[in-house]
Amino acid sequence: MTSTEQGAPVGFARVCALSQLEDDTPHRVEVDGVPVSVVRTEGEVFAINDICSHANVSLSEGEVEDCQIECWLHGSSFDLRTGKPSGLPATRPVPVYPVKIIGDDVLVSVTQES
């Protein structure tokens, strides 16, 4: 994608409208074939890979609290800023991605990790 396509900066894709995101409610999208959970919390918007590094299940089906998303299956939580797990059973982080807000558009780049 180039910066002229849909007004998005190079490498970023529009994933949803900011007005679509409810606080602390994950929103699952797919960007260039990559499953991503977009989360609005604590006044910011984060994008994290939607697949738990422990159990290969969707993180967007979990709960968000204190800038962390919890895997619904085994209870591991991942920091939305870093992707690092905060407890077992997960031991590996999940990728996080840069987010840009332009007007009401939420843009995510999966070509580089934050």
Taking only the tens place, the pLDDT of each residue in 30-39 is 999 999 999 9
Identify whether the C-beta of residue 32 lies closer than 8 Å to the C-beta of residue 13: yes
- Mean pLDDT, to the nearest integer, of 86-102? 94
**Residue percentage of the chain with pLDDT more than 90:** 82
Question: What pLDDT score does 7 carry?
Answer: 66
Mean of pLDDT values over 57-82: 95
Query: Structural domain boundaries of the chain?
Result: 22-108
Question: pTM value?
Answer: 0.89
Q: What was the pLDDT predicted at 37?
A: 98
Domain 22-108 fold: Rieske Iron-sulfur Protein (2.102.10)
Omega of the bond prior to 95 within 30 degrees of 0, cis? Answer: no
Query: 81 with 48: CB under 8 angstroms?
Result: no
* Closest of 71, 74, 48, 67 to residue 59, by C-alpha: 71
